[in-house]
Amino acid sequence: MPCKKTKKQKSESIKPKLQLILFIMNIFITGASQGIGRELVKKLAKENHRIIALSRNEEKLESLVRDCKALNKVSKLETIPFDLRDLKSNTHFIVQRTEETFSNLDILINNAGFLTTEPFSQISDEILSKTMEINFFAPFILIQQLLPLLRKSKNAHIVNIGSMGGINGSSKFSGLSAYSSSKGALAILSECLAEELEEDQISCNYLALGAVQTEMLSNAFPGYEAPLNPKEMAEFIADFALNGNRYFNGKILPVSVSTP
């Protein structure tokens, strides 16, 4: 004879379905063509999240779509080949593309970055502008532009990818003055936005990454062996982006087992 389910058993049996529905997020990631960003997209696409991935290199984005399909046949990944330095002049393009794909935006991960190792005395206007444009102005403008869509989400999370060099009191390295200062500006922006966007239920955190074995690191510090590979770091960032806003807001969090 079939026995009647208790109240607890009933609620447990509907839980997995409910979680599955709630767990699918609309996510925008910059700097997706290689390194940490590419691994992040793969990890989140495998978990069925809907993703927009932006960076300049179209071929790499196309191969990313193929990688994601191989990991998850029903992965939902849109790509935007775009130079973040054009955000100011091309104001509505990103918003338009995002609105065509998402009705709201749950997570924005500002991951794209540019690193110069030129000594302070030799940094040109061009390199300084490029550093600030990609590492600071782009996240600033992108957050502004996507704010209406973030506001439509119940608990949106902005995750700004920074660096150990971009926070107070950490070890500093010669040649990283422009890079670290730009990441420092992004750290303070993250604290400011946590306050200013709180009423909209939007959290904003900054992850100060330590060394990860990517092209950026190998070019800057040839021969240095990082303790983490991009996939390992992406696993942490993905989990933080999905869940971290339950525990943190306006925080500058070191994610490093070593410095740099």
Ligand X SMILES: NC(=O)c1ccc[n+]([C@@H]2O[C@H](COP(=O)([O-])OP(=O)(O)OC[C@H]3O[C@@H](n4cnc5c(N)ncnc54)[C@H](OP(=O)(O)O)[C@@H]3O)[C@@H](O)[C@H]2O)c1
Residue 120 CB, shortest distance to ligand X, in Å, is: 18
Residue 243 CB, shortest distance to ligand X, in Å, is: 20
Residue 100 CB, shortest distance to ligand X, in Å, is: 19
Torsion (CA) 231, 245, 80, 70 in degrees, nearest 10: 40
Instruction: Give the nearer residue to ligand X in terms of CB position, either 108 or 212.
Output: 212
- Strands (E) located in the chain: 26-30, 50-55, 76-81, 107-110, 156-163, 202-209, 252-255
Is 110 strand, coil or helix? strand
Q: How far apart are CA 198 and CA 156, in angstroms?
A: 10
Q: How far apart are CA 211 and CA 29, in angstroms?
A: 20
Residue 211 CB, shortest distance to ligand X, in Å, is: 4
Instruction: Give the nearer residue to ligand X in terms of CB position, either 26 or 55.
Output: 55
Is 165 strand, coil or helix? helix
Q: How far apart are CA 53 and CA 30, in angstroms?
A: 6
Residue 21 CB, shortest distance to ligand X, in Å, is: 31
Residues near ligand X (CB under 6 A): 30-37, 55-57, 60, 83-85, 111-115, 134, 161, 163, 209, 211-212, 214-217, 226, 230
Instruction: Give the nearer residue to ligand X in terms of CB position, either 51 or 153.
Output: 51
Instruction: Give the nearer residue to ligand X in terms of CB position, either 104 or 140.
Output: 140
Residue 43 CB, shortest distance to ligand X, in Å, is: 14
Residue 11: partners with Cβ closer than 8 Å, 6 or more residues away:
none
What are 42's two structure tokens?
């793969």
Instruction: Give the nearer residue to ligand X in terms of CB position, either 13 or 57.
Output: 57
Residue 22: partners with Cβ closer than 8 Å, 6 or more residues away:
none
Instruction: Give the nearer residue to ligand X in terms of CB position, either 61 or 147.
Output: 61
